Amino acid sequence: MRSRILESYKATLALTPHQREVLVGLILGDGHIEQSPCTSRARLKVEQRASVREYVQWLHDTFQEWVRGPLRQKRTFLKVTGKFYDKYCFHTFTHEAFLEYRNLFYRDGRKTVPSTIADYLTALGLATWFMDDGSVKSHQSRGRIINTHAFTTEEVQLLCMVLREKFQLEARPRKQRDGIQIYISGRSAETLQRLIEPHMISIMRYKLPLIRVNNSA
């Protein structure tokens, strides 16, 4: 009986434009779309360190009608450091709506960047992606970094092209020992701030040190 009620409820759900934009940024970052075995459904899974609980709560609130129950806290042990770490996580219901994004962003189980990413990435999606994986290059630099270690060189180059052509950001790949990052030049700091600051929650604005932006232009 309960399963029939749940299925009836899930049949009423549809992703809103706002949720779709956030979802794209989240997938480019640390979010995952998991497909249920032998079904035509998938779900969103979010897991972040305890220090950004408010950000995870914001994501939970964004998809609140898709989630059963509050945030869940979990403790994991990392062999590399020999320490325990607390995290907050949630996952959505399995649903056909998420399968669209599983098919778009995954190939043979690996997260990828679709060739049509420019059609999906918006300022809100960029802000979500930056909150997930963005950082300041250094305290002395106005440059910004977006971690993209999960993607191939070609995929990172595609993302940089979209950032340049769609958002007018000076972006280029930056090689690291463990993969490739996107470096956004300090010359684009004001442009980036105008794009994403309106969408960022307060706890994540430490990633955007205060820059005086001339809004009169």
Q: Mind listing the pLDDT tens digit for each residue in 59-94? A: 999 999 999 999 999 998 888 888 888 999 999 999
Which regions of the chain does DSSP assign to beta strands (E)? 32-35, 42-49, 72-78, 83-91, 106-107, 110-111, 134-136, 144-147, 171-176, 179-184
Cα(106)–Cα(18) distance, integer angstroms: 22
Tell which wins on pLDDT, 214 or 65: 65
Helices 123-133 & 153-167 angle (0-180, nearest 10): 130
How would DSSP label each residue in 95-111? BHHHHHHHHHHEETTEE
**pLDDT reported for residue 1:** 46
pLDDT-wise least confident of 52-61, 73-82, 97-106: 73-82
Is the domain defined by 2-204 classed in CATH 2.60.260.20? no
Give residue 211's pLDDT band: very low, low, confident or very high (50, 70, 90).
low
Q: Where are the domains of the chain?
A: 2-204
pTM: 0.91
Provide the token pair at 160: 């940089």
Helix-helix angle 189-196:123-133, to 10 degrees: 110
